[in-house]
């Protein structure tokens, strides 16, 4: 199992992640990790704060001479604007945030204590942890990529993309969308919403290629790969729906159109699939096809034109607090979801193939893949 | 924490559930549990097996004189058709099931070893566990209900229903759909699909009322209520997508239309919400509004007209095995999802209010609710 | 990970264990499991109930044609004297039992609700689960055995025994003690205590041979093998102390006498140890030497001559309830500890070598052992 | 549940702890935390490194204006001698350490990669986490203290001490021993061992006062308080045995002498105990008496006069590596054990009384204690 915990507030000293279970023998590429953090900060529609941010993950532990040694990887991402001690209390909780429920839960008289942790800032730590998972997966021939499929009312052309297509077409787009025409329309919609003091949500797709069949388990409800992926992606702030493969579409299709036919390629000795509506997961197990997870993000809950709220001290109507000024953050959310998916896949990989060293994992993995050809 | 594990194969001796963490002092109503099991077996579109089944949960442990004593509740559901030892091997894995991936994972030369556990039969044990969670929640004033919102291409009128509406209108429908017109159309579509040897999926909505604000936590990614619900529902066989509240719809709406305005009712001293797009969860916490979870189910993967597959021994094309003959099982799936949601809510309730006895929980809960009025 | 939960009360319908994570491909020998249950019931010094008991574990799930299929193994052990509904309330909590603390914790007005679960009867379910772990370990060349080293003031000759010695000399003793002279003295001490209405405790040693080096981990506090073993053995009712290897003795020895010198055997290409004070565990890892765990059991807390207590209804002095009449149960406790140790070792084995099938585990294990010779 | 993970190597940048589940509303006293770190570094018999060390925990997250806000507390302890990248490989594994088993496990060709994490240095992070747990417990009237009961062959006068006695007599001793005569003899034995290039172990006792009855649970094996404490203390490097209360002594006593008689004090309306052989835990539950946990530590495994080992590259006999030069570290180990015990007690407290704020916990706790008087 690959476990992780994060800590840190939005305007505190920084964010911390501890990732436990990282195999020995992996080159911990700090540049790659920081590149992932940079990817999280980009995207058309982000407000002022993001532009000046430039996150760097300092690796505190887990490696020697740049190579992991099997001990927990701890990373520290300093906050550039550490000022939590100076920030004022917030008396008007913002709809769409944890503000009010968090105050009630903890008995707080202001929302600042809530929103400092219940903030998308936390996802920087996840991205750092996910970057380590990606490095591990890459050593095993697994690549994870994500792209934006909708922002507001604009939808990209339907259909899953390959990792190569995502890298070529989406990664170069400032809304992380591979459909150029849609990308232009998305930006226009963002501009329009921004001018109106409004915000937008959207949808994204994460694709993992090179995943072997047999990760996860149907044997117990909490060992299923689909459940793990759903939890991981749903736990990203602002994500409100998760689909595996063409899950939503298939719910209105017929069985004969939905299920991916099984074939066999004599040359390679491997089973093939005629389609991938299952998104690479059947019965809670990866099936060898690309793993496809889609997420749906609600509009950002802090609006330029604030929403109706209440002053908790007086009970009188008031405008919700304004904390920052992004219009849309779907491209960033896709990066966080890549990280979340990578961690879950890596964790399931460890469960099947061991975790003590990358050499041992590869040996076990290769031997397994060899047996699959024998049938 | 309310933990549970299940065991049991589709044609084995029976199913077992152990539910750990049940508070002392609750009347364990066996009739209610068996009623829930019966609800799981109903629904227009089920094949022969379901009709003759009549599951009964035998309570093996956890109570004395009908009252829970704080020890784990174990339940045994005997299978009426125990014949796993006599059933033939299956050489043609069925698309849409765990069959092929399960064989590869475990090195099996037949799919029988897989499908006996990777079967919707397992959900009977979850429903039994969920029934206990529902009994507990009911003691705390929380009610959970579910209804079908779509089967195949037929969709019910949009909009969330109250528990009372669900009980009145959906529970009396043999497709568990509150929209009578849609229900008729669903049955027609089921008939048509059945005649064509095809199958259908659909969608459902689970609603929990009476949930206090502050269950779950935003403090750590794996403590969020939305993530827990997503995992619980996605882990139900055939569920491929999960949405919290109007998650999917909101992804294309504007922020000003999406987020539920906060008000304050001076008379009751409670905060109010102008809408419930959030589905009762903001920032990973319940917010006091009804919790709404939607699930999307793919069509049943065993078709009357079998799908293209391969004989694993020869590698030659073959038709997938046929194991049973349901056309649609969305009404049953909704019942399983109610159970899954109930367990997660009960578990989060225990985390906040303790778990040693229902009396202590109520005392802590009441004291908490009292403080909420003080603000 | 090999997980298990048990359920069941002392005079309820029966005991249930679910063991999750059992690899596919193992012959589930019911006779062996029942033999282990029988071993738990033996031992000089047991009262009437034990003699008539004859536990049988019914395997409810997890196998087909006698071979495990990777799904959870559920077992049911029926109680011969199911009468929990008829048994009277107990108003005088027994010192040394959970009675009083359990009543306070749960708000019970009688101790019956506590002692039905807080009973050594529960360990039958653990022994059944442990028997499955032993079967798995045996497939991997690992054998676990236990023997009694002290009862009351009588101590067996010091020094660890091999599994073969334990099987030959202790298993044939009705106090499970390999030292014949001590065994006779133990029985005399039991007789004497029994006549005086008193009870005795003692000590035991569990030895596991064939354990490879490298199970467990020092990387995180909760992954250490020694911690896992300590928890597992300490969680057995009446066990109050646990030692790894010669832990207690070494605490007063010098470093130069304690630590087991490392050597190298050129012929076999393996590292050797000059002694095994470490009990096979260094730094939280198994080191390839036999794993040795010692447990210390307090005297049975239900005495023929009852202890001073209080009537909880009146607050007046009273004699503690008498529930059964064993004088000593150290031989049985050793059997439970074997089971607990076996589960933890098997669990750690799965973490390193995978868990999908015994074939895959052996392949990964053999490959690992091969690499150890390369150095 | 109070969860924690640590990270960090002995000569890496530093140590990190994340403690998840800390209630809101607690004053995070940095001086107290650093005082605990200082206590860990003291003790007669420590070598050069300890003397110059002066650990400081920097609180990275979890508080605002010095008060916890319910989010995870992350702490960073910088290493003064960060030089892991420059340190040479170690080819001769040290008996008594994880060195050899860790190399085999991970496929390392040197022991440096092992010992950097499998080092007592890690316990600094635990002490920091434990200090936060102690602060929380103190708010709830629970105090935890520890003292040394043996070093080498010298044993202190038997019998448990109160927290007040420990603070008065042991805390002022440079071997943390309350028995002045024994303390002098311990120092002499340390001097003698040091001169001989040898090392010593010993024993310690941790006492927690103010613990309410009913923490932990007998309902499931892995929820027992004794098991949790055993794991926590056994997982401290060099600890090889753990006893709850007079566990080891009781194993050779009679039942009538062992079990602590129950009485009732009419004036306070509370149950009383005639003795505390149980160490405050019966049946896996705290019983309201002081919790007493004893640990046994083996001698330090790095000797001035190195042990027999092997060069792993050549297989030839060689002397084990020398990494540092403490003679005995029992006083420090007791401090680490205090921290470990504090975390487990706090965790069990949260399970029973909630964890969202200290106010809510106190309210629930007070209400519970009130009910105990009603009987």
CA distances from B351 to A11, B283, B359 (A): 28, 18, 15
pLDDT exceeds 70 at position A375: no
pLDDT value, residue A324: 62
Answer whether C228 touches D (CB < 8 Å): yes
Which of C74, C84, C117 is facing B7, going by the closest CB pair? C74
Chains linked to A by 3 or more Cβ pairs within 8 Å: B, C, D
Answer whether A220 touches C (CB < 8 Å): yes
Task: Give the chain D residue whose CA is nearest to the CA of B2.
Answer: D351
pLDDT value, residue B375: 57
pLDDT tens digits, one per residue of A129-139:
999 999 999 99
pLDDT value, residue C75: 98
Cβ contact A72–D3 (<8 Å): no
pLDDT value, residue A49: 52
Q: Closest by alpha carbon to B204, among B294, B337, B144, B277?
A: B294
Handedness of CA D300, D302, D304, D306 (dihedral sign): positive
B163 touches B209 (CB < 8 A): yes
Set of chain C residues whose Cβ sits within 8 Å of the Cβ of A356: 214, 352
Cβ contact D230–C226 (<8 Å): no
Cα–Cα dist A339/A332, whole Å: 11
Cβ contact B219–D70 (<8 Å): yes
Residues whose CB is less than 8 angstroms from the CB of residue A61 and which lie 6 or more positions away in sequence, other chains included: A71, A72, A73, A74, D7, D8, D9, D12, D13, D14, D15, D16
Set of chain C residues whose Cβ sits within 8 Å of the Cβ of A21: 219
Half-sphere exposure of A69 (CA within 13 A, CB side): 32
pLDDT value, residue A54: 83
pLDDT band at residue C54 under the 50/70/90 scheme = confident
Substitution target from A130, A211, A255 for chain B, most B beta carbons within 10 A: A255
User: Nearest 5°: CA angle at C362, between C359 and C367?
Assistant: 130
User: Nearest 5°: CA angle at B331, between B325 and B332?
Assistant: 65
pLDDT tens digits, one per residue of C287-299:
999 999 999 999 9
Cβ contact A71–C219 (<8 Å): yes
Cα–Cα dist D44/D180, whole Å: 14
pLDDT tens digits, one per residue of B136-146:
999 999 999 99
Set of chain B residues whose Cβ sits within 8 Å of the Cβ of D1: 1
pLDDT tens digits, one per residue of A308-317:
999 999 999 9
Average pLDDT over residues A58-62: 98
Which of D240, D308, D310 is facing C243, going by the closest CB pair? D240
Cα–Cα dist D242/B44, whole Å: 61
Cα pseudo-dihedral D56, D57, D58, D62, rounded to 10: -160
B35 touches B55 (CB < 8 A): no
Average pLDDT over residues A75-88: 93
Q: Which percentage of chain A shows pLDDT scores above 70?
A: 97
Answer whether D6 touches C (CB < 8 Å): yes
Fill in the DSSP letter of residue D375: -
Residue B154 pairs with which residues in a beta bridge?
B151
pLDDT exceeds 80 at position A9: yes
Set of chain C residues whose Cβ sits within 8 Å of the Cβ of D98: 218, 282-285
pLDDT value, residue B247: 92
Q: Closest by alpha carbon to D1, among C351, A5, C138?
A: A5
Task: Give the chain C residue whose CA is nearest to the CA of A62.
Answer: C219
The CATH architecture to which C91-374 belongs is 4-Layer Sandwich (3.60)
Answer whether B4 touches D (CB < 8 Å): no
Average pLDDT over residues A232-247: 97
Cα–Cα dist D346/C212, whole Å: 36
Other C-beta atoms lying within 10 Å of the C-beta of residue A157: 11
Which of D4, D155, D255 is facing C199, going by the closest CB pair? D255
Cβ contact B98–A283 (<8 Å): yes
The D57-61 sheet, strands edge to edge: D3-7, D14-20, D73-78, D57-61
Cβ contact A359–D61 (<8 Å): no
Task: Give the chain D residue whose CA is nearest to the CA of C260.
Answer: D95
Cα–Cα dist A357/A177, whole Å: 37
Of chain C residues 133-152, which have a CB less than 8 A from chain D? Answer: 150, 152
Cβ contact B356–C15 (<8 Å): no
Cα–Cα dist D291/D205, whole Å: 10
Give the pair of three-digit tokens for residue C144: 């676990």
Give the pair of three-digit tokens for residue C107: 């708000």
Average pLDDT over residues C274-279: 96
Substitution target from A7, A114, A231, A316 for chain B, most B beta carbons within 10 A: A231
Question: How is chain C split into domains, by residue range?
Answer: 91-374
Query: Chain A: nearest CA to C211, how far in angstroms?
Result: 17
pLDDT value, residue B53: 58
Residues whose CB is less than 8 angstroms from the CB of residue B240 and which lie 6 or more positions away in sequence, other chains included: A226, A243, A244, A245, A246, A247, A248, A250, A251, A278, A279, B234, B296, B297, B298
pLDDT exceeds 80 at position B50: no
Give the pair of three-digit tokens for residue C227: 């911690």
Cβ contact A220–C364 (<8 Å): no
Of chain D residues 246-285, which have a CB less than 8 A from chain C? Answer: 246-248, 250-256, 258-264, 266, 271, 273-274, 277-279, 282-285
Cα–Cα dist D294/B99, whole Å: 52
Substitution target from D6, D22, D64, D98 for chain A, most A beta carbons within 10 A: D64
Substitution target from C6, C113, C359 for chain B, most B beta carbons within 10 A: C113
pLDDT value, residue C324: 62
pLDDT band at residue B81 under the 50/70/90 scheme = confident
Q: Following DSSP, what letter does each residue of D154-221 receive, concatenated? A: EEPPSS---HHHIIIIITTSTT--S-HHHHHHHHHHHHHHHHTT--B-EEEEEEEESPPTT-S-SSSG
Set of chain B residues whose Cβ sits within 8 Å of the Cβ of A349: none
Cβ contact C356–A352 (<8 Å): yes
pLDDT value, residue B305: 87
Cα–Cα dist B177/B331, whole Å: 8
Length of chain C: 375
Cβ contact A113–D64 (<8 Å): yes
Rg (CA), chain C: 22
Fill in the DSSP letter of residue D222: G
B128-137, C43-52, C337-346: least confident range: C43-52
- What is the ipTM, given to two decimal places? 0.97
Average pLDDT over residues C54-70: 96
Answer whether C25 touches A (CB < 8 Å): no
A301 touches A95 (CB < 8 A): yes
Other C-beta atoms lying within 10 Å of the C-beta of residue A184: 14
Give the pair of three-digit tokens for residue C158: 């010091």
Cα–Cα dist B5/C72, whole Å: 9
pLDDT value, residue A321: 74
pLDDT value, residue D345: 98
pLDDT band at residue C284 under the 50/70/90 scheme = very high
Answer whether B72 touches D (CB < 8 Å): yes
Cα–Cα dist A236/B221, whole Å: 8
Quote the mean pLDDT of chain C: 95
pLDDT value, residue D305: 87
Cβ contact D213–C104 (<8 Å): yes
Query: Chain B: nearest CA to A374, how far in angstroms?
Result: 10
Which residue ranges in chain D fall short of pLDDT 50? none
Average pLDDT over residues B223-241: 98
Fill in the DSSP letter of residue A237: T
Average pLDDT over residues B337-364: 98
pLDDT value, residue C122: 96
pLDDT exceeds 90 at position C325: no
Cβ contact A97–B301 (<8 Å): no
Give the pair of three-digit tokens for residue C110: 């009688």
Rg (CA), chain D: 21
Query: Chain C: nearest CA to D27, how far in angstroms?
Result: 27
Give the pair of three-digit tokens for residue C265: 């055997």
Tell me which of D81 and B277 has the higher pLDDT: B277
pLDDT exceeds 80 at position C229: yes
Residue A24 pairs with which residues in a beta bridge?
A357
pLDDT exceeds 70 at position C313: yes
């Amino acid at each position: 199992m690959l476990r992780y915990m994060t800590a840190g507030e939005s305007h505190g000293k920084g964010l911390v992640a501890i990732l436990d279970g990282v195999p020995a023998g992996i080159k911990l590429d700090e540049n790659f990790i920081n590149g992932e953090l940079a990817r999280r900060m980009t995207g058309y529609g982000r407000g002022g704060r993001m532009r000046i941010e430039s996150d760097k993950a300092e690796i505190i532990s887990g490696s020697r001479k740049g190579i992991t040694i099997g001990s927990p990887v701890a990373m520290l991402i300093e906050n550039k604007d550490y000022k939590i001690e100076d920030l004022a209390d917030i008396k008007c909780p913002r709809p769409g945030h944890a503000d009010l429920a968090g105050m009630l839960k903890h008995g707080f008289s202001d929302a600042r204590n809530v929103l400092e942790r219940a903030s998308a800032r936390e996802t920087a730590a996840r991205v750092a942890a996910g970057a380590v998972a990606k490095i591990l997966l890459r050593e095993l021939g697994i690549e994870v990529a994500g792209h934006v499929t909708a922002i507001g009312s604009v939808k990209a052309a339907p259909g899953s993309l390959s990792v190569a297509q995502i890298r070529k077409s989406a990664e170069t787009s400032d809304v992380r969308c591979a459909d150029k025409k849609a990308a232009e329309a998305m930006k226009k919609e963002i501009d329009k919403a921004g001018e109106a003091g409004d915000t937008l949500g959207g949808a994204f797709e994460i694709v993992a290629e090179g995943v072997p069949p047999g990760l996860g388990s149907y044997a117990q409800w909490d060992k299923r790969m689909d459940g793990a992926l759903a939890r991981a992606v749903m736990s990203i702030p602002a994500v409100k729906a998760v689909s595996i493969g063409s899950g939503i579409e298939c719910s209105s299709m017929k069985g004969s159109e939905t299920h991916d036919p099984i074939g066999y390629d004599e040359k390679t000795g491997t089973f093939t699939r005629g389609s991938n509506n299952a998104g690479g997961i059947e019965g809670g197990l990866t099936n060898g096809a690309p793993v496809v997870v889609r997420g749906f993000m609600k509009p950002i809950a802090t609006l330029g034109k604030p929403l109706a709220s209440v002053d908790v001290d007086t009970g009188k109507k008031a405008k919700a607090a304004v904390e920052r000024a992004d219009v849309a953050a779907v491209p960033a959310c896709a990066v966080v979801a890549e990280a979340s998916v990578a961690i879950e896949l890596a964790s399931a990989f460890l469960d099947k193939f061991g975790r003590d060293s990358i050499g041992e994992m590869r040996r076990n993995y290769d031997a397994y893949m060899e047996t699959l050809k024998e049938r």
